Homo-oligomer: A and B are copies of this chain.
Amino acid sequence: MWPESVAVVHGRKRLTWRAFRDRCRQLADGLLRAGIGRGDTVSVLLPNIPEMLECHYGVPMAGAVLNPLNTRLQDREIAFILGHCRAKALIVDSEFADLARRALGHLEDPPSVIVVEDSEHPEARGDTEIRGATRYVDVLAAGSVEFQWTPPADEWDTISVLYTSGTVGNPKGVVFQHRGAYLNTVGQALVTGMRADTSYLWTLPMFHCNGWCFTWALAIVGGRHVCLRNVLPERVFRLAVDERVNMLCGAPTVLTMLIHAPESARRRFEQRCDVYTGGAPPPAAVIEGMEELGFSVTHLYGLTETFGPATVGVIQDEWTGLSLTERARRMARQGVPYPTVGDLLVADPDSLVPVPADGETVGEILIRGNTVMKGYLDNPEATREAFRGGWFHSGDLAVVHQDGYVEVRDRAKDIIISGGENISSIEVEDVLHAHPAVMEAAVVGRAHPKWGERPVAFVTPTPGVKPPAEHDLRAFCRDRLAGYKVPDTFVFGDLPKTSTGKVRKTELRERAAGNGAEEPSSES
């Protein structure tokens, strides 16, 4: 539809949709000529650069399966994934060549390696050589722009495999089928109202659920990909101005980074810019801070197992008149299912009886339909467990409000049980986020001889503000929460995070356990 429009921008590089299509065809043909066959897996260890987008098209065009790797993983984790999904090739950015070399060193039968060199970022090139590696440009040069690709024989064939960061045990390979990827792509385009004039900035890693399927959604409307190798606030603001960016995605921590960017890095832009955030609910301060910068925030919710977002906190017109606090409270809810989601229930996970829409009764979010993964790769036990009763079990505990909006109360495993009472870690975190001196907060449980568990709060103070005192925070919580929900202990410092911006609560639980040994409980 738009052969001469710009499809991909990266630095000074610009590719039209025609040129992009040609390169994807060349990649597909080049991979086939290099011995990749139908059903083979191609792993990619790439930042948000044009080559990563090309892999999202060229690899499936070759009939192969795409396996995007999180660039922040350790060598042993990468080695595990490459072995588990039996990767036949690894396409790696030269910045990560050293990481890849170390990962490959752990493997008996390593995949062949194709190295990408980012022409726009010569400074990012590592000096590690991988023996026997081919250059990406040479793979493309060997492929024909006339290559005629064939669609998958079956729409339930696998298009990609993505490994969940898995806080316990080895990561699990989430298997995406073409049908689900197509429908979730359509869902993204419809929910965001994407059009041919959409200029989309890649602040969300493409290795995360194939960039929530936005990698594919832009093509269905003829919008524009604006690549971004590193998410630096100064670059985000500059591209917002230069490329008239009007859409981007990211975890709330990315938005926090923009809000706290130094004045010198900020730029004013004229266009409306829609920001879709997920991974964690956006606190009121983040919504307000983003609005002040000129962004409009919408909250999405989903999991890798649902191809990324499956619900949207649709902003209703009648919320306009509400106070920021009230509006933010509604916007932070996970919302209503995408039009492309088959069924979504909040229900008792065993009886499947839905909870009433009372905003109080907690159930598990259960999802079924085309936009749910096929299963975990070579892991029938975990697959069976995840799909018991015929529904995908999200592991998220939620309520349904009177207006039908779903709100997550906690991860099933993050709930703190103290003296027989459930404490939602999110509820306590929300209170802490409302404190002006708190930039971020995470609450976990710690074993307690009398109460079973007690909450511990980890807090990152707001930069440039007087750091909060522990007794201040305790009093602030006590004014707003039942006494048993007030954390026993407050620990200050940075929060450990996954590459997608989620707080690593497992690590905090370990720290809290250690902390508990040092400090007496101040239970009140």
Q: Contact flags (1/0) for A1-20 with B, using CB distance below 8 Å?
A: 11111000000000000000
Q: Contact flags (1/0) for A208-245 with B, using CB distance below 8 Å?
A: 00000000000011000000000000000000000000
A2 to B4, CA, bound (A): 36
Taking a contact as CB atoms under 8 Å apart, the answer to whether A5 and B317 are in contact is: yes
Residues of B within 8 A of A316 (CB): 2, 4
Number of chain copies forming the complex: 2
Q: Contact flags (1/0) for A182-217 with B, using CB distance below 8 Å?
A: 000010011001011000000000000000000000
Residues of B within 8 A of A302 (CB): none
A186 to B189, CA, bound (A): 10
A152 at the interface (CB under 8 A from B): no
A70 CB, min distance to chain B CBs, angstroms: 30
Q: In this complex, what residue of B is CB-closest to A316?
A: B4
Residues A293-349 near B (CB distance < 8 A) = 312, 314, 316-318, 336, 339
A314 CB contact (under 8 Å) in B1, B190, B403: B1
Overall SS of chain A's interface: loop
A12 CB, min distance to chain B CBs, angstroms: 21
Residues of B within 8 A of A317 (CB): 5
Residues of B within 8 A of A35 (CB): none
Residues of B within 8 A of A404 (CB): 3
A403 to B186, CA, bound (A): 26
A190 to B187, CA, bound (A): 10
Taking a contact as CB atoms under 8 Å apart, the answer to whether A1 and B336 are in contact is: yes
Counting chain A residues whose Cβ lies within 8 A of the other chain, the interface size class is 20 to 34
A67 to B346, CA, bound (A): 37
A290 to B2, CA, bound (A): 25
Q: In this complex, what residue of B is CB-closest to A193?
A: B195
Residues of B within 8 A of A5 (CB): 317
Residues of B within 8 A of A196 (CB): 193
Taking a contact as CB atoms under 8 Å apart, the answer to whether A312 and B1 are in contact is: yes
Residues of B within 8 A of A312 (CB): 1
Q: In this complex, what residue of B is CB-closest to A404?
A: B3
Q: In this complex, what residue of B is CB-closest to A221?
A: B190
A7 CB, min distance to chain B CBs, angstroms: 14
Taking a contact as CB atoms under 8 Å apart, the answer to whether A186 and B190 are in contact is: yes
Listed from nearest, the 4 A-B pairs whose CB atoms lie closest are A193-B195, A1-B314, A220-B339, A186-B186
Given contacts A4-B318, A189-B190, A190-B220, 9 further A-B contacts (CB under 8 A): A1-B314, A1-B336, A3-B403, A186-B186, A190-B190, A193-B193, A193-B196, A193-B221, A220-B339
22 CB-based A-B contacts, threshold 8 Å: A1-B312, A1-B314, A1-B336, A1-B339, A2-B314, A2-B316, A3-B403, A3-B404, A4-B316, A4-B318, A5-B317, A186-B186, A186-B190, A189-B190, A190-B190, A190-B220, A190-B221, A193-B193, A193-B195, A193-B196, A193-B221, A220-B339
